[in-house]
A and B are shown apart, each in its own frame.
Chain A
Amino acid sequence: MTRWLVRLFLGGVFVVAGVLKALDPARFADDVARYGLLPDALVNGVALALPWVELLAGALLIVGVWRQAAALVIAVLNAVFLVAVSVALARGLEVCGCFGGSVARKASVWTLVEDFVFLAAAIWLCHKERRQQ
Chain B
Amino acid sequence: MGQTFQRALLIVAAGGLLGLGVNAVSPRRIPWRRPPRWTPAATDLVTLEDARRLWERGEAVFLDARATEQYRAGHVAGAWSLPLQEFETVFPSLRSRLSPDQALVLYCDGERCDDSYRLLLKLRPLGYTNARVLVNGWTLWRRAQLPSVQGGSP
Provided the pairs A34-B112, A57-B11, A66-B7 are in contact, do residues A49 and B19 lie with their beta carbons within 8 angstroms?
yes
Interface code A42-59, partner B: CB below 8 Å = 1, 0 otherwise?
A: 011101111111111100
Q: Is A60 an interface residue (CB 8 A)?
A: yes
Chain A binding surface SS class: helix
Q: Is B28 an interface residue (CB 8 A)?
A: yes
Taking the closest CB of chain B, its distance from the CB of A83, in whole angstroms, is 17
Q: B residues within 8 A CB of A66?
A: 7, 11
Q: Using CB atoms, name the residue of chain A closest to B111.
A: A36
Taking the closest CB of chain B, its distance from the CB of A98, in whole angstroms, is 14
Q: Is B94 an interface residue (CB 8 A)?
A: no
Taking the closest CB of chain B, its distance from the CB of A91, in whole angstroms, is 9
A48 to B69, CA, bound (A): 23
Partner of A53, one of B1, B19, B36, B110: B19
Q: A residues within 8 A CB of B30?
A: 25-26, 29, 44, 47-48
Q: Is A24 an interface residue (CB 8 A)?
A: yes
Interface code B25-45, partner A: CB below 8 Å = 1, 0 otherwise?
A: 010111111101100000000
Q: Using CB atoms, name the residue of chain B closest to A30.
A: B115
* A69 lies within 8 A of B69 (CB): no
* A33 lies within 8 A of B112 (CB): yes
Partner of B4, one of A48, A49, A72: A72
Q: Using CB atoms, name the residue of chain A closest to B12.
A: A53
Q: Is A114 an interface residue (CB 8 A)?
A: no
Q: Is B67 an interface residue (CB 8 A)?
A: yes
Q: Is A109 an interface residue (CB 8 A)?
A: no
Q: Is A68 an interface residue (CB 8 A)?
A: yes
Q: Using CB atoms, name the residue of chain B closest to A77.
A: B12
A129 to B108, CA, bound (A): 46
A24 to B29, CA, bound (A): 9
Q: Is A87 an interface residue (CB 8 A)?
A: no
Partner of A101, one of B19, B67, B138: B67
* B11 lies within 8 A of A69 (CB): yes
A70 to B17, CA, bound (A): 17
A76 to B10, CA, bound (A): 14
Q: Using CB atoms, name the residue of chain B closest to A39.
A: B34
A47 to B15, CA, bound (A): 12
Provided the pairs A22-B22, A104-B67 are in contact, do residues A53 and B16 lie with their beta carbons within 8 angstroms?
yes
Q: A residues within 8 A CB of B23?
A: 25, 48
Taking the closest CB of chain A, its distance from the CB of B17, in whole angstroms, is 8
Taking the closest CB of chain A, its distance from the CB of B75, in whole angstroms, is 12
Q: Which residues of B contact A (CB under 8 A)?
A: 1, 4-8, 10-12, 14-20, 22-23, 26, 28-34, 36-37, 67, 69-70, 73, 85, 109-113, 115, 138-139
